[in-house]
């Protein structure tokens, strides 16, 4: 398993903040910096991981958002999530 550089780790963390507004796999993969392109594949689909966080109101109404991503490693990062 390869290790992310600090810059790559920051770029992936920042991408999670953009996930709320990104609805397409192509938009996510195309928004990756050159240092990450081709190393991870992000997929947006109905079977994506979903969850609810927050207080009572969020759980009561089942509010959820796209804050968070799961990327499958490719190439040197194959097998990594």
Q: What is the DSSP string of 19-72?
A: TTT---HHHHHHTS-TTTTTTEEE---TTS-----SSHHHHHHT--------EE
In a domain, 1, yes or no: no
CA distance 52 to 47: 15
Per-residue pLDDT of the chain (81 residues; tens, 9 = 90+): 688 889 888 888 888 777 667 666 666 777 778 888 888 877 766 555 556 666 777 777 776 655 566 777 888 888 776
Q: Is the pTM of this model over 0.85?
A: no
Q: Which residues span the domain enclosing 31? A: 6-77
In a domain, 65, yes or no: yes
Domain total in the chain: 1
32 close to 74: Cβ distance less than 8 angstroms:
no
């Amino acid at each position: 398993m390869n290790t992310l550089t600090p810059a790559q780790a920051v770029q992936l963390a920042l991408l999670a903040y953009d996930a709320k507004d990104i609805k397409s796999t192509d938009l996510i993969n195309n928004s990756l910096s050159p240092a990450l392109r081709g190393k991870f594949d992000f997929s947006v689909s109905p079977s994506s991981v979903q969850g609810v966080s927050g207080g009572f109101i969020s759980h009561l109404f089942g509010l959820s958002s796209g804050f968070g991503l799961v990327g499958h490693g490719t190439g040197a990062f194959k097998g990594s999530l």
